[in-house]
Structure 1
């Protein structure tokens, strides 16, 4: 077992920008477990700003996360939909589109789905 580990998003190990400067994912690794902080700017939509990077029809990442600020609307491929805001924890399986709601950036911590997210 390793000892204590401390990481900080002020010094991410990797940053992956989205298309059209609509946000980014900052990544750190905690004992080989990737943890990401996604910053999604107003106007961001997965199908416009990450789909060209992912090359899939919908997001195929599975997310487990906490919304820190802003709002995000998620629609599953089967039509189920939900909106998440500050303080909401989420579990989101693969097969969805998502977009920012409103004029505030949406910031999400994710400890399951950002390992390969928006990876070029």
Structure 2
């Protein structure tokens, strides 16, 4: 039987530090993980997460909501979209991303993030 669960990102179950420029706080609810990514100015997936993932592009499927800041996502076919505060986003595998501007970007991710930026 399913249980009511409430967790707070101020006390995450796990924190995944990027190589530089940010982190992902992760909580597990209903057997699924939800992340709050804090991407600092200068963050770029290919620089800050690729060394952890070991793949050419991000192969994680993201389903999220941007709380603050701006991010540009570039798909492997060259398609680009920019998202900002208040935007909901679905990002399929095969992309790079980077923070736009001097403000950190905070994104809540409900996607398939079990292995995202996870070391080991």
TM-score normalised according to structure 2 size:
0.97
Q: How do 1:65-76 residues align onto structure 2 when only pairs under 5 Å count?
A: 65-76=64-75
SS of equivalent to 2:47:
helix
SS in 1 for 2:55: coil
* Match runs of 1:11-90 below 5 Å: 11-20=11-20, 22-90=21-89
Secondary structure of the corresponding residue to residue 48 of structure 1 = helix
How much has 1:2 moved relative to structure 2? 2.3
Give TM-score, length-normalised by structure 1.
Answer: 0.97
Alignment-derived partner of residue 9 in structure 2: 9
Alpha-carbon separation, structure 1, partners of 2:24 and 2:95: 18
Please give the alpha-carbon distance, in whole angstroms, between the structure 2 residues aligned to 1:92 and 1:56: 17
Q: Which runs of 4+ in 1 moved over 2 A?
A: none
Q: Deviations over 1:25-77 (max 9, x none)?
A: 00001111100000000000000000000000000000000000000000000
Question: Structure 2: how far apart are the matches of 1:31 and 1:3?
Answer: 8
The unaligned stretches of length 5 or more in structure 1 are none
For 1:32 and 1:112, locate their aligned partners in 2 and report how far apart those are by CA, in whole Å. Answer: 13
RMSD of aligned C-alpha atoms? 0.7
Match of 2:95 in 1: 96
